[in-house]
Structure 1
């Protein structure tokens, strides 16, 4: 029994304590389990008030955050919607490259070289792929160095611009705008608003409105810029920029500007030229090299520094660009023919010139060398022979015998001179430069330069005005003198007598047929140049004398075509017209006009061995002074005076105008062999009082020359030798000697 009750039980205690069957000591009753002591709260870091404030702020933050992310989401959706709207409306890039509402006019000289532009020229589309890499880099370095990394708007750039504006005392959006190139293109596109002539007074007003700043404009730029980045590639955006940007001097786009300033394509410009072109973006008119080359070069140096700083140019390349700054092309540097170009623009129809919507090419008669000669001559005389600070004006016209204008100076470039063309627009009294037409009428009727006229006191009774007594410039009388001497010394009384003898209507008709289109005086003062005319008209009339007596219509336009089209739309409209006086009369008159320079009032116009002819002219109180004359090659007219009709001091046609004329002619004829004038030297005649005893040599100051038999015109008869044909004719016109004292 003793073994059966414990069989199968494990002797745990034995194993644990190792004793043979000893029982473990009794356990002490466990103490009652105590609950854990409560934790002590950490001491408060903030007081009650601070805690309240923090609680309020926390609540506000939760409200702001809750509103903010919702507003942001809404704004994002609106921005996305606006950008999507604009993106759908944006056209193809090729439709955006030409920003002009009007076309341009490019003018070529007689040799086919460009000398002037009018309107806004567009040299053709240039792309970011084929433009010079230097130009592409210069634009990015100057306008938006992070262009290839942003999405159309640069928050960093805007923040920087605001900081700069505030630091300089301006409003946050005044001055620097922080605009990216994409935003600038958005402005150039006027945010998609097209030009409407009904809404804006002019294209300039439209563009000014497009460039205007302000908060709302900036806000609208953002979705439009995002839309452009969505629609176009970066190179597409640059292409639009390269073609639409205005770059001064009427050049729209970099291709037109490169051609205008450097005479090359925008894909050929070097780093210095690229920097100058990129510098124009800031202020096109101010930095245009045609206005101030040094200022443009200084601006270009700033751009070169930026290109070097941003790694587009090595140090050596940048130094070379600074050492060899961009220079204007020959055509741009001369900037010749401004007045001439304006006149040509007026000579064509407005829809093909001033208001053209096409690109027009006009070939003209201008000779750029002659133009420079005329401009240089005028400047030289005023610098060396005119008191410094003088406000007197002057104008010059140079033309060929057929009326082709080779050079034109419409006035001196002085303060308040304006663009008024004194060669074509100023109507001034002609004075004695009108007298050749009086003698032209007489010669055409059969009179000879050797005929005599009285230079004695003369008074005429003018119906409705009373007696009129003309005077000579020197207040003296020379008695019986030849027509040649009368013209050479610019005697007034003989000119009136001749005019009255042949008839005022005949004189008026001759002058008008030669091209003097202005209203001519009706009284006897017609012979003394009391009427007004322009320098261009008078010079053209003298060209008629040189060409043998045929009328001339001055012209500058030879041919007008559309760019890229070989069809001539307008051809030459001027040139030689109908005959006015006989060739013999014209060549006799030419001889008389040579004596003006050889023995008369035009001595300062002598041109060495080159035969020249001309006539001086001075009006009452010396308000106008003229000299017009010609060689066998060119006719040159010079006018001098004040715009407000202030009398000239000590100036006559034989003074400064003759000296300007001489200086122009000397420069124009440099290298041209002396060529005889087409003239006839008349046979001298005896004065009426000399009878048979008079010498057969020089008579009346006229050298004996070749034989000439006058050919009567319009029924006239050659005056008999030894008579006083002018006095006889006057008696025929007036009936008796009454009215002549």
Structure 2
């Protein structure tokens, strides 16, 4: 047997290496300990030397406390500066792009004939140089806002201290500590919030402005960008708005009143509170004396003869229309264009007559029927709004009841139901049973709580039977009715409920006028609009409705023809008889909601569509007011005014009993003459001038317009600088064309075929 023997040979150098490494570590530790000991000794000796040196400056008593206060103050200053700097870091982002551009809109509106009717947005004018402004105005501003403006660097510590002392004496805030530069910084970059961070931001931005701009540039920018009340920005726009003159022509009293607006323009605006504005102007004049800018003798005249602003209560301004048109402008401009001239569709004559019609009926019958408000919209078949009456008095209530108030339309919504039925196989002669109907726990009733059995859709609409549209909605689907209403221009969201066919879902007056305009247009889309054309500050046409908007057919012509025939019967023999227009084919529908809270009449002719609503803002019931009463009467008054001296257009797909004839002999144009007498005069000579008359086939009589169709001339504007009158000509605007005499026939040629 073999035995295995293992011999282990150890490395003689291994232990020697470990011993050598251990010795080195011990030496390093000893050196480190020695170094620490020596450093400790050095620090001790240094501290003793420092203490020995500082003992020479040892103070006691009041000196000790002074040193402590200075030390604490220095510490607070350092840490406070670091904290303030951290808060102000966001301002570097604000100033990265330099001075901000003006982002507000400045829009001048014109009527359809090119006459200026008002403005919206801001009124801004920075065209004046600082040296063009009166010296007394600059002094009034500096005396009131910042007397040491040319002496400080953006933050006035002396002024701040003085303001704190004066406020402490008065027990309230009587003086502000912000410099003019700080106010400019706030106007350009910040909000009006009262926080510590905002004040710190204001201070840093003031320093940035002072470092970037000269004092004169800062003052000019302040006078151009400051809000002056009444929608105006800058001294030039304010002078024109309040006093109707150039800023360089304002006298001392006017300058004092304008300088007083910087503190609180809303409170001190002269068109809002003239006594308060004059009291503030007096304070400004006193400040000018106290600040050494003027003597008492120089301000006596201004004190005795305070400024009188021009009258700003012009009731002729169509404010409801302008508010609505301004929203449309902002949508069309898309934020790319801010200074605009806009030609609109409004006719100021019809606007005024519509307002008068609404006010007259409210004044004469409002108390009797317990109704306090009304609204109306008049538009052309394509949706061009001619007039908006948003309420009784814009000065008392700026709420636009024509565009913003959502009310139940009642039976005036039924034409959308019947239109949907006409698009789904029904005709005016279709028969549907008028009988009690129950859907779930809901049982709609007719107005007289009686039922007629089988009736045609024409009779059902004419008599405003409730059960028929409910049955139609069940048959064709409520969702289809909503789809039809949307196609016809209703913008308000409709709730698909069982009572939808009876007008339970709320809409606006504008919705209804737009929807009925589709009947007048022959089924073409009627988009409610005010803007015909927009021109930017450089004279470029950036929007033209005729050029940029395409018209599409949204309802089949056959359905429109059926509906127009049916809706004509409502006025001629139904619930809307008070809306009849003598000699003019008209169609429409009444609407009355439960508890008589809302009363409507909506209708149209070949020329216009209009919707009228009566009710109370708090939705309280009226005294049994129905749509066939005041609304129909008001609609008739508005439409009668609208059709004066215009060429009547036939209602689409409805035989019109009124034809037009162009007579070549004035002797033939006798008002009330008989049409049959014209038949014998087939050989009459052509004479001038030609006379256009209307031939009413129903009565057999001739109707003679009293004057030419209404075309308003441009009113001359007055140059604010020279006072000269000049015609208003705006580059790029489409000229308003005279109404076309569509449907005219030459009596000498075409009478035999008529």
Smaller-chain TM-score range?
0.5 to 0.7
Question: 2:109 — aligned with what?
Answer: 108
Within 2, Cα distance between the matches of 1:660 and 1:410? 14
Within 2, Cα distance between the matches of 1:329 and 1:138? 28
Within 2, Cα distance between the matches of 1:304 and 1:665? 56
Within 2, Cα distance between the matches of 1:239 and 1:280? 16
Whether the 8 Å CA contact 2:345–2:385 is kept in 1: the answer is yes
Match of 1:458 among 435, 448, 465: 435
1:576-631 CA deviation, whole Å, 9 max, x = no partner? 42151327x64664454454345433345456776643221123344443222235
Secondary structure (helix, strand or coil) at the match of 2:464 reads coil
Quick one: structure 1 residues 396 and 623, their matched pair in 2 at CA, closer, same or farther if it must change by over 3 Å? same
Question: 1:340 — aligned with what?
Answer: 324
Within 2, Cα distance between the matches of 1:223 and 1:494? 72
1:498-546 CA deviation, whole Å, 9 max, x = no partner? 7778887876665443234667677885543344444333211101111
Whether the 8 Å CA contact 2:535–2:542 is kept in 1: the answer is yes
Quick one: structure 1 residues 427 and 187, their matched pair in 2 at CA, closer, same or farther if it must change by over 3 Å? closer
Question: 2:175 — aligned with what?
Answer: 176
Within 2, Cα distance between the matches of 1:209 and 1:331? 42
Whether the 8 Å CA contact 2:350–2:642 is kept in 1: the answer is no
Secondary structure (helix, strand or coil) at the match of 1:106 reads strand
Whether the 8 Å CA contact 1:115–1:337 is kept in 2: the answer is no
Within 1, Cα distance between the matches of 2:557 and 2:643? 32
Offset at 1:340?
0.4
Counting only pairs closer than 5 Å after superposition, residues 292-691 of structure 1 correspond to structure 2 as 292=273, 295-296=276-277, 299=280, 310=294, 318=302, 322=306, 324-328=308-312, 335=319, 337=321, 339-341=323-325, 343-344=327-328, 347-348=331-332, 352-353=334-335, 359=339, 363-367=343-347, 378=358, 381-382=361-362, 385-386=365-366, 394-409=374-389, 422-425=401-404, 427-440=406-419, 451=429, 457-460=434-437, 465=440, 469-477=443-451, 484-495=458-469, 510-516=484-490, 527-560=501-534, 562-564=536-538, 566=540, 568=542, 576-582=551-557, 586=560, 589-590=563-564, 592-605=566-579, 612-641=586-615, 647-662=621-636, 664-665=638-639, 669=642, 672=645, 675=648, 678=651, 680=654
Question: 1:123 — aligned with what?
Answer: 125
Offset at 1:283?
0.8
Offset at 1:240?
2.7
Comparing 153-162 with 505-514, greater Cα deviation is found at: 153-162
RMSD between aligned alpha carbons? 5.7
Quick one: structure 1 residues 375 and 259, their matched pair in 2 at CA, closer, same or farther if it must change by over 3 Å? farther
Question: 2:38 — aligned with what?
Answer: none
Whether the 8 Å CA contact 2:376–2:612 is kept in 1: the answer is yes
Quick one: structure 1 residues 595 and 121, their matched pair in 2 at CA, closer, same or farther if it must change by over 3 Å? same
Offset at 1:102?
2.8
Secondary structure (helix, strand or coil) at the match of 1:542 reads helix
Offset at 1:491?
2.5
Quick one: structure 1 residues 223 and 586, their matched pair in 2 at CA, closer, same or farther if it must change by over 3 Å? closer
Within 1, Cα distance between the matches of 2:482 and 2:519? 16
Secondary structure (helix, strand or coil) at the match of 1:255 reads helix
Quick one: structure 1 residues 334 and 682, their matched pair in 2 at CA, closer, same or farther if it must change by over 3 Å? closer
Whether the 8 Å CA contact 1:410–1:423 is kept in 2: the answer is yes
Within 2, Cα distance between the matches of 1:398 and 1:518? 19
Question: 1:189 — aligned with what?
Answer: 185
Aligned residues: 575
Within 1, Cα distance between the matches of 2:478 and 2:205? 77
Secondary structure (helix, strand or coil) at the match of 1:239 reads helix
Offset at 1:404?
1.6
Quick one: structure 1 residues 158 and 486, their matched pair in 2 at CA, closer, same or farther if it must change by over 3 Å? same
Whether the 8 Å CA contact 1:403–1:576 is kept in 2: the answer is no
Question: 1:204 — aligned with what?
Answer: 191
Match of 1:248 among 225, 229, 232: 229
Q: Which runs of 5+ in 2 are unaligned?
A: 1-61, 78-90, 658-695, 700-754
Within 2, Cα distance between the matches of 1:271 and 1:588? 71
Within 1, Cα distance between the matches of 2:571 and 2:304? 57
Within 2, Cα distance between the matches of 1:231 and 1:519? 53
Whether the 8 Å CA contact 1:109–1:367 is kept in 2: the answer is no
Offset at 1:363?
4.7
Offset at 1:242?
1.0
Secondary structure (helix, strand or coil) at the match of 1:551 reads coil
Match of 2:219 among 228, 238, 247: 238
Within 1, Cα distance between the matches of 2:437 and 2:650? 38
Whether the 8 Å CA contact 2:462–2:567 is kept in 1: the answer is yes
Within 1, Cα distance between the matches of 2:164 and 2:490? 65
Secondary structure (helix, strand or coil) at the match of 1:638 reads strand
Quick one: structure 1 residues 452 and 404, their matched pair in 2 at CA, closer, same or farther if it must change by over 3 Å? same
Quick one: structure 1 residues 165 and 115, their matched pair in 2 at CA, closer, same or farther if it must change by over 3 Å? same
Whether the 8 Å CA contact 2:149–2:180 is kept in 1: the answer is no
Quick one: structure 1 residues 495 and 343, their matched pair in 2 at CA, closer, same or farther if it must change by over 3 Å? same
Name which one, 1 or 2, has greater alpha-carbon Rg: 1
Offset at 1:336?
5.1
Whether the 8 Å CA contact 2:320–2:390 is kept in 1: the answer is no
Secondary structure (helix, strand or coil) at the match of 1:436 reads helix
Question: 1:38 — aligned with what?
Answer: none
Quick one: structure 1 residues 284 and 316, their matched pair in 2 at CA, closer, same or farther if it must change by over 3 Å? closer
Within 2, Cα distance between the matches of 1:279 and 1:631? 55
Within 2, Cα distance between the matches of 1:290 and 1:332? 17
Q: Which runs of 5+ in 1 are unaligned?
A: 1-59, 76-88, 196-202, 684-702, 707-741
1:352-387 CA deviation, whole Å, 9 max, x = no partner? 34xx69555555444555555555655555555445
Quick one: structure 1 residues 390 and 133, their matched pair in 2 at CA, closer, same or farther if it must change by over 3 Å? farther
Offset at 1:149?
9.2
Secondary structure (helix, strand or coil) at the match of 1:616 reads strand
Within 1, Cα distance between the matches of 2:583 and 2:386? 23
Secondary structure (helix, strand or coil) at the match of 1:337 reads helix
